[in-house]
Amino acid sequence: MKNDFKFSDTSVKAGDLLLNENPFVYVLSSKEKGLRCDNCLQKLKVLKCSGCQFVHYCGRVCQKEAWSGHKWECANLKRVAPKIIPDAARMLAKIVNRLSRGDGHTYRAYYTKTSFRMWKDLMSHYPDLKQDKKRMDHFTSLCMVLFEFLRDISLPNTVELMGMYGRMVINSFTILDIDMNSIGTGIYLASSIVDHSCGPNAVATFDGKTINIRAIQDMPSLDWNQIRISYIDLLKTPRERQTELLENYYFLCECDRCIGDIQTKIIHAAKCPNTKCDNPIKIPWKNCELVKKSMDHSKNNGIENGDSNKSEIKDSECSGGSEIDEIECSACGSKCTDKYIEVYKKAMEFTEMHLQKMKGSSVAYVDVCKFCLEKQEGVLHPLNVLHAQTLDHAFDALIQVQLWEIASIYAEKLVHCFKFYYGERHPLLGLLHLKYGKILLYKMDLRKALEQLKLAEKILKITHGDRHPLYKEQLLPLLSQAMIEC
């Protein structure tokens, strides 16, 4: 792949491509099986591999390109059929294969003209892994699948295999399609040098299976130690983000957004009872304390029981002033009556329960979301995280059922939430402006449509670049349509 690396002493502009890379190994998710090409991951008309009848390709070019990596897998998939091999097991098998037969141990992924990373440079977090019951159970079950699946390949010993598993789970990227939906998993050796921040200065997007890492801020020079992307969904409380990062990546995030008080003030805030005041009010609510830093004790606590770090991630109630004191707005002095607090708590509980329920299913329900939003009306702050999550679900659900009128009302509100949680330059904010603009075009509200599409353009140019299909094939046609009709 051609890669014009930036020199480390030249300054970086927002939108600059810092790295693009093809995966070391990758798999198409099984939910996309038969819908996309297993090689290029594009959504095209595909044909089954005549050998295994399991993988699909969009044409001869992709089939040929994939063959050297698929040959060993093809025979094994055929042998175990109709048994389905889980995605994670296929991924681990591909790693084993690439390392044992291919160029796996010598392959270099460059991130500057002279610096590169190899498979062995990935972190395996071996000690953390060994104490993580959930992951160890997962590993054991994958091993059982592998023994059957790779009968003809001599597997590495358990320690080695666990090292591979650790590198796999810690360093995997979720491959996203043009709408930011997950379609697969890949390991990118060079890109995995980038650490996490909840307020990142770079972003990873995908074009097919290729990862692109772009700067979203200007920087005086390119220092890879300072580049940060987000590993997780940011529309969450700092505590939830910390917990997720600790459980999945074994580190405690203490970035400005997690530690600072800008988010903690607002995440669970109530609206001021004074309708003219938009100051957030903190009413005591559970689970908002930050995760405490006591990693050194991790050996003696819950990790061994599988509830990794549970002793630090306890249920807690925020002490936003003592319970007896009256809660009042720090800006206008309006008091929250007991009844108001009661309504707030009911709305929070109700929403939390339904969001939890929707998490399990892939569909969001319009009526459930609307019902939650009605309960939240007038008591939850517009940037309250539960309100934002409900709007997010509602917006998706409304698009599914093509209720454009309400969808556009929610989109308007959601923009503010996305800016607050994701930041001003985030692919999801760009995508939201694009979807909102598209809806306004349907509604023939041309002036506003153009405004939204221009906002989308500004963001997507930075996060995706003007050659990405989302920009070129989705945004530009809408933009020119809006301009012609305007």
Binding residues vs Zn ion (CB under 5 A) = 37, 39-40, 49, 51-52, 58, 62, 74, 198, 253, 255, 258, 272, 274, 277, 279, 329, 331-332, 334
Q: How far is the CB of 304 from Zn ion (least distance, A)?
A: 26
116: β partners: 110
Reference 393, options 379, 381, 410, 408; nearest CA is 410
212: β partners: 20, 205
Q: How far is the CB of 353 from Zn ion (least distance, A)?
A: 26
Is the CB of 277 or the CB of 318 nearer to Zn ion? 277
Give every CB contact of residue 256 below 8 A, 6+ residues apart in sequence.
Answer: 199
Is the CB of 204 or the CB of 478 nearer to Zn ion? 204
Is the CB of 228 or the CB of 375 nearer to Zn ion? 228
Q: How far is the CB of 318 from Zn ion (least distance, A)?
A: 18
Is the CB of 78 or the CB of 359 nearer to Zn ion? 78
Is the CB of 74 or the CB of 162 nearer to Zn ion? 74
Is the CB of 97 or the CB of 124 nearer to Zn ion? 97
Q: How far is the CB of 6 from Zn ion (least distance, A)?
A: 26
Q: How far is the CB of 262 from Zn ion (least distance, A)?
A: 12
Q: How far is the CB of 253 from Zn ion (least distance, A)?
A: 3
Is the CB of 47 or the CB of 403 nearer to Zn ion? 47
**Cβ neighbours of 398 (radius 10 Å):** 23
Q: How far is the CB of 116 from Zn ion (least distance, A)?
A: 28
